[in-house]
Every structure is written in C-alpha cells, then in structure tokens.
Amino acid sequence: MVVSQRFGEGHRVLVTGGAGFVPSHLIDVLIARGCTVVALDNFVTGSKENVAHLADHPRFTLVEADASEGLPAHHPAIAPRFDAILHMASPASPKDFATLPIEILRVGSVATLHLLDRAVADGARFLMASTSEAYGDPQVHPQTETYWGNVNPVGIRSVYDEAKRFSEAATMAYHRHRGLDAGIVRIFNTYGPRMRPDDGRAIPTFISQALRGEPITVHGTGAQTRSICYVDDLVRGILLLLDSTQSGPINCGTEHEVTMRQLAESIVELTGSTSSVTYVTRTSDDPEMRRPDLTLARTRLGYEPSIDPEEGLRRTIEYFRQRLE
C-alpha cells in the first residue's frame, strides 16, 4: 500500500496541543511540506520553547487558547477554514493523571466536540490522537485494533483512558452520521527530544536520573513491558494516516518490546552513568504489557518504523544532556 501526500503547499492545518512534545515534531514536517500551520495550546503541559524555532516563520502561528473553551473564532488565524484539523491536545503522563484530571477529561470530551463541529463546518480532514491506553491493562497480546480493552473506568488512569475512548466514539459518530472525513491513531509509547524531563514517564525519568547520577527508580519488579517508538517514526505514521482516507482506529508505534528493567539498564549503559537501579512501589492500574499489532498500519498505510531503539535513545539522551547543562 502506498499513500500519496495529500496535505502540503496551500493547505491550512490546525494542530491542538501544538507546543507539546509530539505535536511540535508533527508541525515541523507539515511546515516543511509547505502547509500553513496554526498551533493552539494553553501551555498546561506544552512549552513555547518547543516551537520557538518557528516563531518568525511566515506560515506558522501560535495561538494561546484552551480548546475546551471553543476555538477563538475572532482570532485572524482561526477564522479562515482549515483543510485538516489534528486534535493532539491532552496531558498524557501518569503524573498528569494525578494532577490534571479535570483538564484531561475536558480536552478529551468538550474540546473534541468543539473541534469535530469545526471540522464538519470546514469540510476538513479530522485526525484524532488516541492512545494505547484505550486497551487498558490488556489481556490480549499484542494488541489489535479489534480488541476492546480492559480498562478500569474509575481508577487513577481512567481520566485519560476514558477521555480518549470517548473521543474515539465521538469521532466515529461524526464520521458515520455527519459524513466527516476522520481518522483515529492509537499512539503507543513514544520518546525523543522535547519531552518534559519531569513528566513522570519512564524514559525521561530514567535519563534524567542517570545523567544526574541518581538511582534509577523502576516501579514494581520492572518486569512490565512497553514497546518504545522514536518520535520521528510516530510522526511518519500519523502523517500517513492523515494523507489517507482511512478512518481507523490504527495502531502506531513499534514492536520493540522491552521490560522496564531492561530499559533502565540500557539507559545507564548509554549515558555512561554510575547510577544503580532501585525498585519502588508500583502505581495502581499500571499495565503489565504493551505491544501493538501493526498489521493494519502496514497493509493500509505502508507504515514501517525504521529508527533503531539504541539510536533513538542516544538522540534523546543527547537532548536531555544539553538541557541539563
């Protein structure tokens, strides 16, 4: 399957959460394609630093606003129609689940509905960033898109899991009943430059601790697994879905599955750190295993991740090293 580029020069694209980790990388590629991009962010977890290199670009506008309050229609960059809307906004780390639960629920529900209405009005392609968290603590491995998941609807992680599941349901309702051209991507564990060092996710936490010479804190026994994907591979997959006519949901990530213990040990080795690995109490509802079945992504989008995990971790470590210096 070969997907032709659909969005490029002359197209206007709205990206919510545009100053965040993954969306800022997406914007770089969209700008390089020739798109005019409007990034919307309320900076609850996003950072202007992530898009500072685009501040003077003639085809980039950063709008400070909360999508949960509706789009600021009076803003000159928001008023004209969009050809594509990418709903990427949401705090997305375990630390955020505990500190920003209401904001997460609102951006995954109220904001989604506002953006779906705008996409219908504009006749825009709508791409919704969902998550592997939609599978909860899976009892099927690897996870296929037909698996309905094993989610605790009232646990600490539920604000994120259920908000994304609502967004998926809303997106499909608009697709089926209002003719919306929509796609859903389920994003698996992603890492790379521009992650927040203190966001609570494993890779930035382990790297920051290793570079400071602090003990690496692994939750539980460290036997739980994640499949880690370098951000460039994820961005390529998201844009393949955007350019296609597929509705999904479609998994995007890699099949490189590692235990948290292995990940910690690799980061100690790659940083040249003297840090030891220690074990702390595991958080509630922490999934036991994660690995995407990429069959749909391969057959319908021609997607294939290509960044070697060791290379991706080296690039990420270098970014964090520069930040800490």
Quick: pLDDT tens for 25-42. Answer: 999 999 999 999 999 999
pLDDT score of 133: 96
Find where tokens 């090293």 sit.
Answer: 321
Which CATH topology does 12-191+230-255+290-306 take? Rossmann fold (3.40.50)
Q: Is 160 a catalytic residue?
A: yes
Active site residue: 135, 160, 230, 303, which one? 160
180-233 confidence digits (pLDDT tens): 999 999 999 999 999 998 888 999 999 999 999 999 999 999 999 999 999 999
Query: Domain coordinates of the chain in residue numbers?
Result: 12-191+230-255+290-306
Mean pLDDT in each 10-residue stretch from start to end of the chain (325 residues)?
92 98 98 98 97 98 98 94 98 93 98 98 98 96 97 95 98 98 98 93 96 96 96 98 98 97 97 96 90 98 97 98 90
59, two tokens: 């085809």
pLDDT score of 163: 98
pLDDT score of 284: 83
